[in-house]
Every structure is written in C-alpha cells, then in structure tokens.
C-alpha cells in the first residue's frame, strides 16, 4: 500500500485569474497546482528554498489538467495536493484535485525531476530529502 502525504490549501480566485468570459483561464490551473505543491512541501518542512540552498532544482517536466467545471472570480478554491512517497525516484509526481464550494472542478498532475544546480543534470533524490522523510516517519 502506497504512503501518501497530503495538504489542502485554500485560495480565492482573483479578477486577474479570469478570462473575457469571466471564467478562470485554463492556464491558471497550473499556477494553482504550484500553490498546492509548494504548500504541501512547506508543510513537511521541505520548502523549495531548502532545495535551492542545497544546490538542487525541481523543474517541471510534465503536466496534465482535467477540467470538469468552471470557477469564477471571487470563488474560494480548495487545492488538495498529494505525493506518493513510495513512488519517489529521480522524478516526483504530485497529484492535485481542486474543489469549489465542495464541488470537484479539476484534477491533474505535475512531474518534476531532481537536478543538481551546478551541472543541470538529473540526479537521485538528495540525501537531506530522504532523511527528512525518514525523520517525519513517512518512509
């Protein structure tokens, strides 16, 4: 059975997030995913600044969004971000579900590779990352 870490972050749709039709512009869902991912990692003591200060980057290598229902200006969205800890390799896949007023409106995923900043080459997960997960008794 996979061990999943999860965090829910709430955001309010800004006017700038909407298109001419008053609906959240499709490309903004990736920005919402970023908020969810960042807050999930931060909630586990693994802020992106930690990776960068240790010389690692986590660039996006793949993304996908399924749109089920629209969101509008001033809506409150709940972004549920998850990470399957057992599936961690040199690539991480974060999964997302977005809800508006309790209604499911979108889901998807992003994949990120660990890169060593000085070489810009893919690497295995850094030792500090694995150790942090172990300290949290996650793996």
Q: What is the pLDDT of residues 121-137, one digit of tens each?
A: 999 999 999 888 777 76
Catalytic residue among 17, 19, 78, 84: 19
| Cα–Cα dist 16/71, whole Å | 13
| pLDDT, position 2 | 67
Predicted model pTM: 0.92
86 is catalytic: no
| Cα–Cα dist 75/36, whole Å | 16
138 pLDDT tier (thresholds 50, 70, 90): low
Q: What is the pLDDT of residues 28-84, one digit of tens each?
A: 999 999 999 999 999 999 999 999 999 999 999 999 999 999 999 999 999 999 998
Q: Domains along the chain?
A: 4-135 (3.10.129.10)
Report CA torsion sign: 71, 77, 78, 84: positive
């Amino acid at each position: 059975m996979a061990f999943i870490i999860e965090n829910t972050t709430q955001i309010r749709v800004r006017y700038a997030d909407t298109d001419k039709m008053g609906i959240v512009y499709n490309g903004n869902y990736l920005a919402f995913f970023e908020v969810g991912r960042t807050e999930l990692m931060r909630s586990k003591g693994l802020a992106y600044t930690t990776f960068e200060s240790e010389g690692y980057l986590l660039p996006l290598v793949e993304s996908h969004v399924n749109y089920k229902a629209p969101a509008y200006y001033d809506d409150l969205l709940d972004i549920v971000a998850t990470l399957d800890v057992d599936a961690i390799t040199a690539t991480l896949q974060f999964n997302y579900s977005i809800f508006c007023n309790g209604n499911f409106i979108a889901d998807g995923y992003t994949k990120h590779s660990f890169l060593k900043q000085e070489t810009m080459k893919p690497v295995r997960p850094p030792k500090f990352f694995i150790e942090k997960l172990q300290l949290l008794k996650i793996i």
